[in-house]
């Protein structure tokens, strides 16, 4: 096994200001599934998804991947998972991706682990 990790923290007030200032930003960064999930839960949940995307980019040491090609979805228990879009999937061949999120009104954090040993 060969693991890499990434972590990111987001200041929720700064994030809210950016999202409210630039109306197109939300749609550039997040899929409709992510926006729908966070609509009732609050913008801090979108902030933790932003942190998760940044943490994923750190873990795989990669740029040039579209924000929306890294989607955070929750399974029935509430546990979040990262679902890669077509382009990201063809670029990476991870045998495992794990993500964990946490948020308060002030900060949102995410940790991502990838296993890049061959499947
Ligand atoms: C799940 C739990 C750990 C969340 O902790 P919290 O302190 O309330 O909230 P945090 O801000 O730290 O974390 C919230 C995030 O936890 C994650 N989460 C929720 N359920 C989860 C689960 N079963 N496993 C892993 N992560 C989970 C989600 O990503 C959530 O954010 P999101 O809704 O934006 O995706 C908490 O509700 C808990 O301890 N529940 C009791 C135990 C439990 O239900 N375990 C799951 C049994 S299947």
Q: Write the DSSP string, 7-23.
A: EEEEEHHHHHHHHHH-T
The continuous run of DSSP H or E covering 112 comes out as strand 107-115
**How does the average pLDDT of the chain come out, rounded?**
95
Ligand 1, atom 2: closest residue by C-alpha: 78
pLDDT the model gives residue 94: 92
* In the predicted structure, residue 119 carries a pLDDT above the cut 70: no
Structurally, what CATH architecture does the domain formed by 3-115 represent?
A: Alpha-Beta Complex (3.90)
Ligand 1, atom 32: closest residue by C-alpha: 45
Q: Spell out the domain ranges in the chain.
A: 3-115
- Measured in Å, residue 78 CA sits from the centre of ligand 1 at 6
Ligand 1, atom 7: closest residue by C-alpha: 102
Contact status, residue 80 vs residue 99, Cβ threshold 8 Å? yes
Contact status, residue 57 vs residue 6, Cβ threshold 8 Å? yes
* In the predicted structure, residue 10 carries a pLDDT above the cut 80: yes
Give the residue, 1 or 42, on which the prediction is more confident.
42
pTM over 0.85: yes
φ/ψ region of 61 (left if φ > 0, alpha if ψ in -120 to 50, else beta) reads left
| 15/99 Cα distance (integer angstroms) | 20
């Amino acid at each position: 096994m060969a693991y890499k990790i990434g972590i990111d923290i987001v200041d929720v007030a700064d994030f809210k200001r950016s999202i409210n200032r630039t109306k197109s930003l939300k749609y550039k960064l997040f899929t409709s599934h992510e926006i729908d999930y966070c609509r009732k839960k609050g913008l801090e949940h979108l902030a933790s998804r932003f942190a998760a995307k940044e943490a994923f980019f750190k873990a795989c040491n990669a740029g040039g991947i579209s924000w929306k090609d890294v989607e955070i979805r929750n399974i029935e228990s509430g546990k979040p998972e990262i679902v890669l879009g077509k382009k990201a999937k063809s670029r990476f061949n991870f045998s495992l991706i794990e993500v964990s999120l946490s948020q308060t009104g002030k900060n949102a954090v995410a940790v991502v682990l990838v296993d890049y040993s061959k499947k």
